[in-house]
């Protein structure tokens, strides 16, 4: 066990939670991430190998799957972000690489992102102050890339009262501030 | 007596009295009042002074088109100038002040301008303030600005916040008058996602101001019943107090929702306003119409207003501007004002109708074929003079005059994308043309359909058209019975012979000014606008443009549609700059990026600097250090003497994988990469397509099919974008995958003679990082405290140096570990200033040298551009112009007198040559004080610099008074052979 004590994206030892009205904003640190992008000409094999590893069909454009322990969302043509709990899957990228072999390029993204989960009612009211995504048309299982507070973020909806926001880790403070401000403003 | 001009009825809540002040005097109004209606109810007609001539003015309208009743609302930091009294909702404690007057509204010393009006005609400034030229900025303009103007700014920071937001709908209904409500109802019942936006706080549009009935209800009651039904439907979003200010591409509309303008202060955490971007699939333009005035002599006195406004004040706000009222009209609609006011017991002095065949009345006198030739009353209307059809003159006493010259459909949003409105002779007005924004359907008055029945029907028709385009099935709701009067109008724009007939009351433009513009050949409508200022300022000519066009058409002998309109541009009504800024202001202007060592650096009292969005430690002051140079010199000296640590996470990191990764990098970089061995790093120079240097960095080959590319901090995004472009567009057949990992890894430079010793204490012992096992430019996966890590033996400082990376969450732990392990070596942590000093001492190029104008040749790296392969920019770097004999070359510079600095930006001149641009020899790009050499040094570009070593050259900066001699030396001040790198 390493003596290295990790810091959360917000710069503390414990993740932060804020509640305003019906919505709770949680800094989620137990997330391992790996991008998986098919090699040219190996798209079918990569998809098949990755699906075997994950145990579910890969999401189509604009879609996400949030299973236990693995989740995935579509990032681009033949490219997905794979998620799993960091506590048990810190080496996620290496594990996926082993599964897909030469059919895909895999890159560790564990700490490239900060993750904030918003849970509760009236999430569309919050997000309509943040980004151009039409959350009211979502029902769960969607994902998209969007811009929040000038930051490129991923939005993943597991169900209508649970949205995950993945944003650039170095700007976690700014993103958290933007999310909390929108909650206070909209709710 | 308070509210002496209140009449019965109205849509105000008389149970809720509201106290407010105007120019320091206390008044009372009711809930539902606007500032203008409450003042009129209190017998206040004078509300402002005009822009140029300081003429006394009262409200012309009862809506957002108001040119005259412009006031300053609130006090302190919330003071807001140029607010329309006609739309300002009354709230308890509201303070309002009139503008552009001194010392008071009733006595304004600047009204002398009015007496001098002959000197202030259109084009006055341009003709008068010609000489001397220097006087314009210093003398004339300040005087003019003081004399003319609107409100004043508080000069304090806006204490309120503004949100931006995004909405999506099938159908956006702009305007909640009869056609808008009917369209919304039709669409909502069909199940479409509907947004209804209206600038008013009360839905219903003109129905709230008219006495007509819809079905068996009043117009207002009918509107409320529809609004109530819409409010119960989950697919409808009703947005009162929301002005759609612009129509943009692809069905996108801008709208400002005023959340708290009707409250003393916004609720805690809530914004004052929200700027919405509405994505609509289809749009109903139900923006209604605005009545237009007729120009006649002295037509701007307080009490003279649009006939429809008079009707609104009486019907909706139960506020009669006067007890005795006249109407001047050229159409039947003007008569409604007389009828309605008469019904409320207000004396109708006369209806003056320009038409010989005007309808008559048994309730009041109608003067057919008559015109108003003059008016009286210094601070408010007292009499009008009328020329009757038989040529006789008559003077009529009245305190208010309703004027109706017809109605102009609100075509603004239909025209924001350059759609030109078309002329409809039947109503003598422009209506939306054929070239509408995508998916827009004009309905009701906005489409030139003026009867209530026609507006209701058109609302249904247009909703049906819009929804069928979306594949919705529509069941047409039944139309309630209501008035269906035809439009009867005989165009009449201005009374002949009038000298001071105001067209644009906001800009004090008269009919005479338009004639002058025509006479001086400013005949295009756009020229007319610029020359006279007709249609400018906060109201954008909503009540004045048509009058100006009509007169211009008359003078030019053209029809009005031949003259055309000026371009319509957003925003429709004045919009607070704060709404456009949203949350992006002050410390939230843009997001901040923090490095993994930020928390630790803060603990050390680091001084931070913004590098792009990053906050980087500039230096780390120690106790006793009083000047930044002391800290920086210490950090530099100690790094070169022992070891220094620096957070270099901000450098861009791009993961490049794929079987063609090396081939790809061979295209991206001008120097060869195909044969970089696994476990090795290579320095690379990237050129733009035009041969200019783009960025430099390193690429570490982690595996046969895997590189980690680093970029400069500033160019990280640009380089990534460039690489994606090359991958997707130029070489789509290469098997290469890219993703940024800048944020994923915390990376520290460990530099100095003791760098290896320090790292050997930190890196897990199973990894051999001895010089033999891990030589200069090696790279590889290692571990630190059991955590996976990467090590690169690269150097920016010129010392024995490494960069070590761990997953970002462990970055804080690693810096603490490095500092702790470095204690025995007196290790320092250094910031960007020391980093800069060391790279200048070493002669390494950075952003100042890669400045977008320089080539590999200039940088002294011409031989890096490999000609055995094709890489981006390689061919164009061979252009003659980039390869002249006297090309700039990167050199080092040191002062002849060691006490002198060598400031960046200074230019280099051959001694004896004149100091001018023609003799310029080059310039200094980067400069610093070198604590190792004990004097200032610099690097820069000098023509034929590589052949001029040892030459003493003149350094000049006329701007900063620098003029002394420097010697041209090698840019490599420290360890030119690079021995230190390899030990």
Distance CA B371, CA B354 (A): 6
Say whether pLDDT at B500 is over 80. Answer: yes
Nearest to B810 among A6, A9, A128 (CB): A6
How many CB atoms within 10 Å of residue B653?
A: 25
Classify B935 as helix, strand or coil: strand
- Mean pLDDT of the B767-777 span: 97
Which of B739, B719, B717, B737 is CA-nearest to residue B728? B737
- pLDDT score of A1: 62
Cβ separation A178–B270 shorter than 8 A: no
Please check whether residue B758 is in contact with residue B644, taking contact to mean a CB–CB distance below 8 angstroms.
no
**Segment (H or E) for B657:** strand B652-657
Nearest to B658 among A105, A136, A150 (CB): A105
A128 touches B at CB < 8 Å: yes
Q: What are the phi and psi torsion angles at B3 (to 5°)?
A: 50, 45
Nearest to B277 among A5, A132, A172 (CB): A132
- pLDDT score of B124: 73
Instruction: For B680-795, list the strands marked E by DSSP.
Output: 681-687, 693-703, 706-711, 737-740, 745-751, 779-784, 787-792
**Segment (H or E) for B257:** strand B252-258
pLDDT in tens, B803-820: 999 999 999 999 999 999
Distance CA B97, CA B107 (A): 15
Distance CA B703, CA B780 (A): 9
- Mean pLDDT of the B461-476 span: 96
How many CB atoms within 10 Å of residue B170?
A: 20
Whole-angstrom CA distances from B747 to A31, A46, B657, B789, B814 are 21, 31, 20, 10, 9
Could you tell me the fold of the domain covering A32-108? Answer: Alpha-Beta Plaits (3.30.70)
ipTM reported for the complex, 2 dp: 0.98
- Average pLDDT of chain A to the nearest whole number: 97
Nearest to A108 among B734, B736, B744 (CB): B744
Question: Class of the A17-29+111-186 domain?
Answer: alpha beta
Say whether pLDDT at B405 is over 70. Answer: yes
Cβ separation A111–B807 shorter than 8 A: yes
Which of B382, B356, B383, B357 is CA-nearest to residue B370? B356
Domains parsed from chain B with CATH numbers: 1-154 (3.10.20.440), 162-289+409-469 (3.50.50.60), 321-405 (3.50.50.60), 492-556 (1.10.10), 593-647+744-830 (3.30.1360.120), 652-740 (3.30.70.1400), 871-982 (2.40.30.110)
What letters, b where the CB count within 10 A reaches 16 and e where it falls short, cover B380-398? bbbbbbbbeeeeeeeebeb
Percentage of residues in chain B with pLDDT exceeding 70? 99
Please check whether residue B737 is in contact with residue A39, taking contact to mean a CB–CB distance below 8 angstroms.
yes
Structure tokens, B723? 């690489």
B161: chain A residues, CB-CB within 8 Å: 185
Cβ separation B588–A177 shorter than 8 A: yes
Q: Indicate the burial class of B164 (C-beta count within 10 angstroms; 0-12, 13-18, 19 or more).
A: buried
pLDDT in tens, B163-208: 999 999 999 999 999 999 999 999 999 999 999 999 999 999 999 9
Distance CA A5, CA B810 (A): 7
Comparing alpha-carbon positions, the chain A residue that sits nearest to B788 is A91
Cβ separation A171–B271 shorter than 8 A: no
Say whether pLDDT at B123 is over 90. Answer: no
Distance CA B338, CA B279 (A): 43
Nearest to B655 among A5, A107, A136 (CB): A107
Q: What is the DSSP string of B274-317?
A: EEEEEEEEEEEE---EEE---B-BTTTSTTEEEHHHHHHHHHTT
Say whether pLDDT at B134 is over 90. Answer: no
Q: Which residues pair with A38 in a beta bridge?
A: A104
**Segment (H or E) for A163:** strand A162-168
pLDDT class of B151 with cuts at 50, 70, 90:
confident
A131 touches B at CB < 8 Å: yes
- Mean pLDDT of the B231-242 span: 98
Cβ separation A173–B594 shorter than 8 A: yes
A110: chain B residues, CB-CB within 8 Å: 744, 807, 809
pLDDT class of B214 with cuts at 50, 70, 90:
very high
Please check whether residue B79 is in contact with residue B94, taking contact to mean a CB–CB distance below 8 angstroms.
no
pLDDT class of B595 with cuts at 50, 70, 90:
very high
- pLDDT score of B115: 79
């046969």: which residue's tokens? B704
Q: Domains of chain A: which residue ranges?
A: 17-29+111-186, 32-108
pLDDT class of B615 with cuts at 50, 70, 90:
very high
pLDDT in tens, A53-94: 999 999 999 999 999 999 999 999 999 999 999 999 999 999
A113 touches B at CB < 8 Å: yes
pLDDT in tens, B166-178: 999 999 999 999 9
Percentage of residues in chain A with pLDDT exceeding 70? 99
B170: chain A residues, CB-CB within 8 Å: none
pLDDT in tens, B673-714: 999 999 999 999 999 999 999 999 999 999 999 999 999 999
Distance CA B444, CA B442 (A): 7
Comparing alpha-carbon positions, the chain B residue that sits nearest to A36 is B737
Please check whether residue A23 is in contact with residue A121, taking contact to mean a CB–CB distance below 8 angstroms.
yes
pLDDT class of B148 with cuts at 50, 70, 90:
low
Q: Is the dihedral of CA B464, B465, B467, B472 positive or negative?
A: positive
Distance CA B80, CA B75 (A): 8
Q: How close does chain B come to A153, measured CA to CA in Å? A: 13
pTM of the model: 0.95
Nearest to A150 among B590, B598, B786 (CB): B590
- pLDDT score of B51: 87
- Mean pLDDT of the B768-796 span: 97
- Mean pLDDT of the B919-927 span: 98
Phi-psi region of B931 (alpha: psi -120 to 50; beta: other; left: phi over 0): alpha
Q: Is the dihedral of CA B328, B330, B333, B339 positive or negative?
A: positive
pLDDT in tens, B15-62: 999 999 999 999 999 999 999 999 999 999 999 999 888 999 999 999
- Mean pLDDT of the B937-962 span: 96
Cβ separation A113–B590 shorter than 8 A: no
- Average pLDDT of chain B to the nearest whole number: 95
pLDDT in tens, A107-130: 999 999 999 999 999 999 999 999
A87 touches B at CB < 8 Å: no
Q: What are the phi and psi torsion angles at B978 (to 5°)?
A: 80, 20
Q: What are the phi and psi torsion angles at B287 (to 5°)?
A: -85, 0
**Segment (H or E) for A177:** helix A172-186
How big is chain B by its Cα radius of gyration, in Å?
Answer: 37
- pLDDT score of B110: 78
Instruction: For B484-525, list the strands marked E by DSSP.
Output: 502-504, 509-510
pLDDT class of B120 with cuts at 50, 70, 90:
confident
Surface of A (24-43) touching B: CB under 8 A: 29, 35, 37, 39-41
Comparing alpha-carbon positions, the chain A residue that sits nearest to B739 is A107
pLDDT in tens, B817-840: 999 999 999 999 999 999 999 999
Distance CA B708, CA B661 (A): 10
- pLDDT score of B897: 97
Cβ separation B741–A112 shorter than 8 A: yes
């Amino acid at each position: 066990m390493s003596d290295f004590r990790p810091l959360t994206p917000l710069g503390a030892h414990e993740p932060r939670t804020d509640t305003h009205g019906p919505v709770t904003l949680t800094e989620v640190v137990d997330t391992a991430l790996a991008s998986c992008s098919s090699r040219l000409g190996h798209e079918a094999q990569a998809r098949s190998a990755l699906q075997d590893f994950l145990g579910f069909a890969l999401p189509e454009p604009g879609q996400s799957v949030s299973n236990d322990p693995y989740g995935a969302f579509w990032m681009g043509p033949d490219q997905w972000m794979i998620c799993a709990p960091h506590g048990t899957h810190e080496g996620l990228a290496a594990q996926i690489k082993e599964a897909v072999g030469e059919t895909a390029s895999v890159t560790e993204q564990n700490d490239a992102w900060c993750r904030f989960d918003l849970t509760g009612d009236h999430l569309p009211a919050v997000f309509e102050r943040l980004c151009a995504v039409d959350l009211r048309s979502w029902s769960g299982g969607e994902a998209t890339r969007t811009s929040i507070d000038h930051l490129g973020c991923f939005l993943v909806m597991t169900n209508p009262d649970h949205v995950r926001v993945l944003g650039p880790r170095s700007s976690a403070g700014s993103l958290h501030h933007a999310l909390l401000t929108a909650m206070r403003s909209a709710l | 007596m308070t509210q002496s001009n209140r009449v019965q009825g109205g849509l105000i809540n008389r149970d809720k009295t509201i106290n407010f002040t105007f120019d320091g005097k206390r008044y009372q109004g009711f809930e539902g009042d606007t500032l203008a209606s409450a003042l009129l109810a209190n017998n206040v007609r004078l509300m402002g002074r005009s822009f140029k001539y300081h003429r006394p003015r009262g409200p012309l309208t009862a809506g957002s088109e108001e040119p005259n009743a412009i006031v300053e609302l609130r006090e302190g930091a919330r003071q807001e100038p140029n607010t329309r009294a006609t739309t300002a909702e009354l709230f308890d404690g509201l303070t309002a002040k009139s503008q552009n007057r001194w010392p008071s509204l009733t006595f304004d010393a600047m009204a002398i301008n009015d007496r001098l009006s002959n000197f202030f005609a259109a084009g006055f400034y341009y003709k008068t303030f010609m000489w001397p030229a220097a006087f314009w900025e210093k003398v004339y303009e300040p005087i003019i600005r003081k004399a003319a103007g609107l409100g004043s700014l508080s000069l304090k920071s806006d204490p309120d916040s503004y949100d931006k937001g995004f909405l999506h709908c099938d159908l956006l209904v702009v305007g909640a008058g009869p056609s808008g409500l009917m369209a919304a109802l039709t669409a909502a019942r069909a199940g479409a996602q509907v947004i209804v936006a209206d600038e008013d706080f009360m839905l219903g549009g003109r129905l709230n101001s008219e006495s007509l009935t819809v079905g068996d209800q009043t117009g207002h009651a009918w509107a409320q019943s529809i609004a109530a039904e819409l409010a119960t439907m989950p697919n409808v979003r009703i947005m009162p107090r929301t002005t759609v200010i612009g129509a943009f591409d692809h069905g996108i509309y801008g709208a400002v929702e005023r959340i708290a303008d009707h409250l003393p202060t916004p609720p805690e955490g809530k914004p004052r306003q929200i700027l919405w971007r509405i994505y609509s699939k289809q749009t109903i333009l139900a923006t209604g119409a605005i009545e237009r005035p007729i120009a006649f002599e002295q037509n701007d006195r307080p009490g003279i207003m649009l006939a429809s406004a008079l009707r609104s004040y009486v019907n909706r706000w139960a506020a009669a501007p006067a007890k005795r009222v006249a109407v001047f009209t050229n159409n039947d609609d003007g008569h409604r004002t007389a009828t309605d006011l008469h019904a409320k017991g207000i004396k109708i002095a006369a209806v003056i109708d320009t038409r010989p065949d005007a309808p008559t009345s048994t309730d009041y006198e109608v003067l057919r074929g008559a015109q108003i030739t003059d008016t009286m009353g210094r601070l408010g209307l007292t009499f009008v003079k009328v020329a009757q059809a038989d040529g006789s003159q008559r003077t009529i006493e009245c305190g208010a005059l309703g004027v109706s010259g017809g109605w102009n459909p609100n075509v603004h949003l239909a025209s924001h994308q350059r759609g030109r409105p078309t002329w409809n002779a039947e109503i003598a007005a422009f209506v939306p043309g054929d070239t509408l924004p995508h998916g827009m359907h004009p309905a009701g008055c906005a489409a030139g359909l003026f009867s209530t029945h026609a507006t209701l029907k058109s609302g249904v028709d247009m909703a049906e058209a819009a929804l069928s385009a979306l594949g919705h099935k529509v069941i047409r709701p039944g139309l309630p019975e209501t008035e269906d009067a035809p439009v009867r109008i005989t165009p009449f724009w201005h009374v002949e012979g009038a000298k001071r007939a105001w067209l644009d009351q906001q800009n004090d433009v008269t009919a005479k000014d338009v004639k002058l513009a025509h006479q001086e050949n400013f005949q295009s409508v756009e020229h007319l606008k610029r020359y006279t200022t007709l249609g400018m300022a906060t109201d954008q000519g909503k009540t004045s443009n048509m009058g100006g066009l009509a007169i211009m058409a008359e003078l030019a002998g053209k029809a009005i549609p031949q003259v055309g309109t000026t371009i319509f541009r957003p925003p429709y009504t004045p919009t607070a700059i704060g709404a456009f800024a949203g949350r992006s202001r002050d410390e939230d202007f843009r997001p901040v990026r923090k490095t993994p060592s930020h928390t630790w650096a803060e603990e050390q009292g680091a001084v931070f600097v913004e590098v792009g969005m990053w906050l980087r430690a500039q230096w780390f002051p120690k106790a006793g250090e009083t000047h930044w140079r002391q800290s920086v010199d210490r950090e530099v000296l100690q790094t070169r003497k022992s070891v220094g640590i620096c957070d270099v996470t901000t450098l861009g990191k791009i993961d490049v994988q794929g079987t063609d990764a090396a081939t790809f990098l061979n295209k991206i970089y001008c120097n060869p990469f195909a044969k970089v061995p696994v476990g090795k790093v290579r320095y690379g120079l990237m050129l733009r397509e035009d041969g200019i240097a783009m960025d430099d960095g390193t690429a570490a080959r982690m595996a046969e099919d895997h590189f980690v590319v680093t970029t400069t901090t500033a160019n990280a995004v640009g380089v990534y974008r460039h690489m994606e472009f090359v991958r997707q567009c130029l070489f789509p057949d290469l098997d290469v995958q890219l993703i940024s990992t800048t944020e994923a890894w915390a990376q520290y430079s460990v530099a100095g003679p003791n760098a290896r010793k320090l790292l050997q204490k930190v890196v897990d012992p199973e990894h051999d990082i001895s010089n033999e096992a891990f030589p200069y430019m090696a790279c590889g996966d290692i571990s630190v405290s059991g955590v996976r890590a990467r090590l690169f033996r690269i150097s920016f400082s010129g010392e024995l140096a490494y960069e070590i990376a761990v997953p970002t969450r462990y970055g804080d732990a690693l810096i603490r570990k490095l500092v702790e392990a470095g204690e025995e070596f007196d290790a320092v942590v250094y910031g960007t200033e020391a980093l800069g000093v060391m790279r200048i001492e070493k002669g390494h190029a950075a952003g100042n040298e890669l400045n977008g104008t320089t080539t590999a040749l200039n940088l002294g790296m011409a031989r890096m551009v490999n000609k055995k392969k094709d890489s981006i920019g390689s061919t164009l770097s061979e252009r003659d112009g980039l390869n002249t004999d006297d090309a700039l070359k990167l050199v080092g510079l040191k002062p002849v007198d060691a006490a002198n600095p060598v400031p960046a930006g200074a230019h280099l001149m051959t001694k004896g040559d004149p100091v001018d641009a023609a003799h310029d020899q080059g310039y200094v790009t980067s400069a610093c004080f070198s604590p190792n050499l004990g004097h200032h040094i610099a690097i820069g570009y000098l023509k034929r610099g590589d052949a001029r070593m040892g030459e003493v050259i003149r350094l000049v900066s006329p701007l900063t008074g620098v003029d002394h001699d420097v010697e041209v030396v090698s840019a490599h001040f420290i360890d030119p052979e690079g021995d230190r790198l390899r030990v």
